[in-house]
Amino acid sequence: MKQPINKAGVAWGVLPIAAFLAAWEVVARLGVLPGQFFLPPFSEVMAEFYRLSADGVLGRHFLSSLTRVLIGFSAGSVAGVAVGTLMGWRQVVDRTLNPIISLFYPIPALGWIPLLMLWIGINELLPIVLIFICSFFPVLYNTVTGIKSVDRDYIRVARTLGASDIRILFAVVLPLALPNIFTGFRLEAGMAWRTIIAAEMVAIPTGIGALLMKAESLMRIDIIIVCLIVLAVMCLIFEKFFTYLEYRLTAGWR
Amino acid sequence: MKGAYLEVAALNLSLGGFRLSDIHLVCKKGAYRVLLGPTGSGKSSLMKCILGFHIPASGAVYLNGTDISRRAPENRRMGYVPQNYSLFPHLSVENNIRFGLPHGGKGDRDADRRVERLCGMLNIAHLRRRGIRNLSGGERQKVALARALATEPELILLDEPFSAIDEGSKRNLWIDMKKVINEIGITAIHITHNLEEAYSMGEQMSVLLNGVIHQSGTPEEIFERPATKGVARYLNYRNIFSGVARSGKGGTIIDTGDFSVFVQQPIPEGRRMEVCIRQQDIKVLKTGQPVRDALKHNVFSGRIVSVFALPEYCLIYFRINGSGRPYDFEIKLPPYLRERHHLYPDKEAAVAFWGPNIIRFLHEDGTGGGVDEATDQ
């Protein structure tokens, strides 16, 4: 059954943002800050957004970033779920890999940049590997936690019903671990965008991060804000997408 | 053991600091055995041994004469209904029931037939498309039972199947579940800590206390003649006394210190023993009326110390004249007798019990309960 739209909830989501944007516009126009240079009005930022979009500049940089995020995040997540599943399901794999993974996990994704620049060079693979690293570990840990937290009685019952290990894993354990796995996806979807922007600012000449750095060198605060808005919106869209997907897959039984 | 369908023989298991010791248990084909014991007594551990989830340190589990002790749980063909039912929450009722069934080709038709039959027997056909979270406790129990029975196992093990059911619904479900299991004719082992449930459902019963089977027999045998003090205490029997035997006219007198009881059986002089008189076996005598011959050997005069009138029965605490204890007997009476005999605190009264109702414990606690196994089938 379709849920009725909660108008009050929508209003609480939209009105504070509208109020913030209006305040921004007024403060910038009144010249309260040293000048429009430091804080251009929201309307001018939107006009610049339109110009950059119409020129194709924003689209080109955005597509570069998006492609890197999609490839790196997908590969990192698939690998994280696969290794996490093995670690959660087989104690011997967990005992073998856990010490190694615990050693690498604390290294921030951006900390790998110098090493990767020397190993891979400055090319398309560099940001993809960075996103892979940034996605892999959290998804892996959430998958391990999800699988280990499945009540053993479900597994016992499935075994008494004659199910094989593989069937138990795919038909019982993984579906029940989905909420935890999705927590990993949700957290890392936003983090992937934050990481790619940082990586592009430091080492890659294309992408939203690179556009951000160019704007900084030209002292174009309006473009910087456009880039930041794109980043914020993409983080939000990715997180909401996984929230929705999790809801579709698990809300029926949770 | 001859005639045994399931036999647990001399099974020992250590789990951390807990031990199951020298467990003997037998179940005839089609029998319904209740394993009764308090929380932490090892009932679930024993069930997991039978299912194959715990490997015993010694001893064996036989099914239909075959030693299955080393067989994997998935190959034992045993149905299992865990305490919380563990219905797969991401599957519908029907898919839960079908989980263990073959699918594809001829298997589908066979599975359909079994699901239809079980849903009909358990009155859950209308729930087939529902999700698990939308079921009541009783409905969940029926679905879990259907799922376990769908694979047509050799034996079904039910772990506290009514613990998640509210009191009001339990009794109807006892009847429903027993009916279905009898109809299918499957051998069942049902574990519970609930005395009423055990008495009502079990055809055979075993009492497990601290990892040891204290007694096995019919519910009547166990409730009327607990073999050990541990069983008597677990059954909430209060009047348990320690005494020394001496010979008396036509039987034996057991001196407890404050009073003596008489039993007709000869007992060697000087033997120290423990006896129990169930609360419901003690009669309050009507004043001015002669005592029946059957009761006259064990008549005690004294005073009622306190009375608790509960909705279903009345508890009377009685002290024998000259006794140094706060009270000597706890007596359970139907509520109407309290009014009829004007039983109230401080009233002088006389109580009596029949000699054969005095329970003498056959075994020391924690030993020997399993010897009944040979005869209780």
Q: State both tokens at B272.
A: 């120290």
Question: Is pLDDT at A175 greater than 50 in this prediction?
Answer: yes
- pLDDT on residue A1: 46
Burial class (CB in 10 A: 0-12, 13-18, 19+), A15: exposed
Are A157 and B72 within 8 A, CB to CB?
no
Are B99 and A253 within 8 A, CB to CB?
no
For chain B, the average pLDDT equals: 90
Are A160 and B78 within 8 A, CB to CB?
yes
How does residue B229 score in pLDDT terms, banded at 50, 70 and 90?
very high
Are B82 and A159 within 8 A, CB to CB?
no
How does residue B369 score in pLDDT terms, banded at 50, 70 and 90?
very low
3-state helix, strand, coil in chain B (%, to 5): 30, 30, 40
Are A161 and B89 within 8 A, CB to CB?
no
Are B86 and A153 within 8 A, CB to CB?
yes
Q: Which residue of A has its CA nearest to B96?
A: A158
Q: What percent of chain B has pLDDT over 70?
A: 95
- Round to whole Å and give the CA distance between A192 and A105: 15
- Round to whole Å and give the CA distance between A147 and A137: 15
- Cβ-Cβ contacts under 8 Å, A171 against chain B: 99
- pLDDT on residue B371: 35
Query: What residue has token string 């073999």?
Result: B227
ipTM of the complex: 0.83
- pLDDT on residue A5: 61
Closest residue to B74, CB basis, from A151, A162, A175: A162
In Å, how far is B336's CA from the nearest CA of chain A?
Answer: 48
Does the beta carbon of B344 lie under 8 angstroms from any beta carbon of chain A? no
- Round to whole Å and give the CA distance between A21 and A232: 15
- Angle between helix B43-51 and A152-160 (nearest 10): 40
In a mutational test of the B interface, the residue from A161, A165, A174, A181 whose CB has the highest number of chain B CBs within 10 Å is A161
Question: Is pLDDT at A245 greater than 50 in this prediction?
Answer: yes
In Å, how far is A152's CA from the nearest CA of chain B?
Answer: 9
Question: Is pLDDT at A105 greater than 80 in this prediction?
Answer: yes
Question: Is pLDDT at A21 greater than 70 in this prediction?
Answer: yes
How does residue B45 score in pLDDT terms, banded at 50, 70 and 90?
very high
- Contacts of residue B213, Cβ cutoff 8 Å, sequence gap at least 6: B23, B24, B25, B206, B207, B369, B370
* Alpha-helical regions (H) of chain A: 7-30, 42-55, 57-89, 91-104, 113-119, 125-148, 152-160, 165-168, 174-202, 208-217, 221-250
Does the beta carbon of B51 lie under 8 angstroms from any beta carbon of chain A? yes
From chain B residues 86-115, the ones with a CB under 8 A of any chain A CB are 86, 88-91, 99-100
- Cβ-Cβ contacts under 8 Å, A250 against chain B: 90
Are B80 and A253 within 8 A, CB to CB?
no
User: For the residues B95-116, what does the mean pLDDT come to?
Assistant: 87
From chain B residues 234-253, the ones with a CB under 8 A of any chain A CB are none
Closest residue to A176, CB basis, from B77, B80, B90: B90
Closest residue to A160, CB basis, from B79, B88, B132: B79
- Round to whole Å and give the CA distance between B185 and B154: 10
In a mutational test of the B interface, the residue from A153, A156, A160, A164 whose CB has the highest number of chain B CBs within 10 Å is A160
pTM: 0.84
User: For the residues A54-61, what does the mean pLDDT come to?
Assistant: 95
- B274-315 residue pLDDT tens: 999 999 999 999 877 888 888 888 999 999 999 999 988 999
How does residue B368 score in pLDDT terms, banded at 50, 70 and 90?
very low
Are A156 and B78 within 8 A, CB to CB?
no
Question: Is pLDDT at B84 greater than 80 in this prediction?
Answer: yes
- Contacts of residue B150, Cβ cutoff 8 Å, sequence gap at least 6: B97, B98, B100, B101, B111, B114, B115, B118
Does the beta carbon of B79 lie under 8 angstroms from any beta carbon of chain A? yes
In Å, how far is B88's CA from the nearest CA of chain A?
Answer: 7
* Amino acid letter for position A62: F
B238 closest CA partner among B156, B158, B326: B326
More confident residue, A69 or B375: A69
B284 closest CA partner among B348, B210, B227: B348
How does residue B364 score in pLDDT terms, banded at 50, 70 and 90?
low
In Å, how far is B49's CA from the nearest CA of chain A?
Answer: 12
User: For the residues A56-62, what does the mean pLDDT come to?
Assistant: 95
Q: Which residue of A has its CA nearest to B48?
A: A156
- Cβ-Cβ contacts under 8 Å, A153 against chain B: 82-84, 86
B160 closest CA partner among B97, B51, B81: B81
Q: What percent of chain A has pLDDT over 90?
A: 77
Query: Residue length, chain A?
Result: 254
Tell me, what DSSP letter sits at residue B37?
-
**Angle, CA A194 vertex, CA A94 and CA A78 arms, to 5°:** 35
**Angle, CA B16 vertex, CA B11 and CA B20 arms, to 5°:** 20
- pLDDT on residue A36: 61
Q: Which residue of B has its CA nearest to A177?
A: B90
Residue B19 DSSP SS3: strand
Distances in Å between the Cα of B274 and the Cα atoms of A163, B206, B295 are 51, 22, 20
- Cβ-Cβ contacts under 8 Å, A157 against chain B: 80, 82, 86, 147
- Contacts of residue B281, Cβ cutoff 8 Å, sequence gap at least 6: B353, B354, B357
Are B89 and A254 within 8 A, CB to CB?
yes
From chain B residues 211-230, the ones with a CB under 8 A of any chain A CB are none
- B349-362 residue pLDDT tens: 999 999 899 999 86
Dihedral, CA of residue B260, residue B263, residue B269 and residue B272, to nearest 10: -60
Number of A to B CB contacts under 8 A, please give it. 68
Residue A36 DSSP SS3: coil
Residue B162 DSSP SS3: coil
- Cβ-Cβ contacts under 8 Å, B107 against chain A: none
More confident residue, B106 or B95: B95
Residue B352 DSSP SS3: strand
Question: Is pLDDT at B376 greater than 50 in this prediction?
Answer: no
Q: Are A57 and A211 in contact (CB under 8 A)?
A: yes
- pLDDT on residue B373: 39
- Cβ-Cβ contacts under 8 Å, B80 against chain A: 156-157, 160
Closest residue to A253, CB basis, from B78, B82, B132: B132
Q: Are B31 and B203 in contact (CB under 8 A)?
A: yes
User: For the residues A183-187, what does the mean pLDDT come to?
Assistant: 91
Closest residue to A156, CB basis, from B77, B82, B133: B82
